[in-house]
Copies of this chain bind each other. A is one copy, B any other.
Amino acid sequence: MDEIRLIEVKEDIQADNEKIAEELRRRLSDQKIFLVNLMSSPGAGKTSVILKTIEQLRGELAFGVLEADIDSTVDAEKVAAAGVRAVQLRTGGFCHLDATMVTKGLEGLDLEGLDVVIIENVGNLVCPAEFDTGAIRNAMILSVPEGDDKPLKYPLMFTVCDVLLVNKIDYLGLSDFDMDVLRERVARLNPGMRIFEMSAKTGQGVKEWADWLSREARSFVHG
């Protein structure tokens, strides 16, 4: 198991987050590191999706992970146990990551040889949507048990993300979740949003999303 580095991060309220995010994006572009910011509610399956994605693309792309949590290291432990280079960012009660925290996290992660870094943001559909982390792509997970009404309630999150992973589709049929209704609601907010249906548990649909991510990352790295 790789060692887990724990970094305490704090918000710098003086900082111009947009500027720091732009600088970080420029640096990552030079370094050819494809940074993905993954957001969702608590328990939607961020860690499981990350692990399944990395497993699917093993041998194709080298991944690192920045795990953000208010106060624990359970996710970084899970990811490191799978042999993935990971850093735990502890936000100390803070509800989202900003570009300063991500910059600090990337300094703690050895980027040598990596192609893709996934940020697992704090589990929260509200605040993380408001802060540019410097990522090249924003992705979100909505899990089926949360319901198909979430675009109505958390519109900013569905607007700022490039891709939506509808996870836990093995729960479809147990709830009144209507995929067509969800797709309509998403299209009204963000017509260009890519949507992938999947179950990190059964593995269904993981390949389609991973293929998309791989194409995006390769065209960024080689483009």
Contacts and interface: CB of A to CB of B under 8 A. Distances in A.
A67 to B, nearest CB: 11
Interface string A141-171: 0010111011011111000000000001011
Chain A interface SS verdict (over half): loop
B153 A74 contact: yes
Contact of A125 (B124, B149, B155): B124
A143 to B, nearest CB: 7
B123 A125 contact: yes
Q: How large is the interface on A (under 10, 10 to 19, 20 to 34, 35 or more residues)?
A: 20 to 34
Contacts of A13: none
A160 to B, nearest CB: 12
B74 A126 contact: no
Interface string A32-57: 00000000011110000000000000
A62 interface: no
Contact of A95 (B41, B127, B143): B127
A43 B147 contact: yes
A8 to B, nearest CB: 16
Given A41-B123, A74-B149, A124-B125, 9 more contacts: A41-B43, A43-B143, A69-B153, A70-B154, A70-B156, A71-B152, A95-B127, A170-B174, A171-B171
Interface of A: 41-44, 69-72, 74, 93, 95, 122-127, 130, 143, 145-147, 149-150, 152-156, 168, 170-171, 174
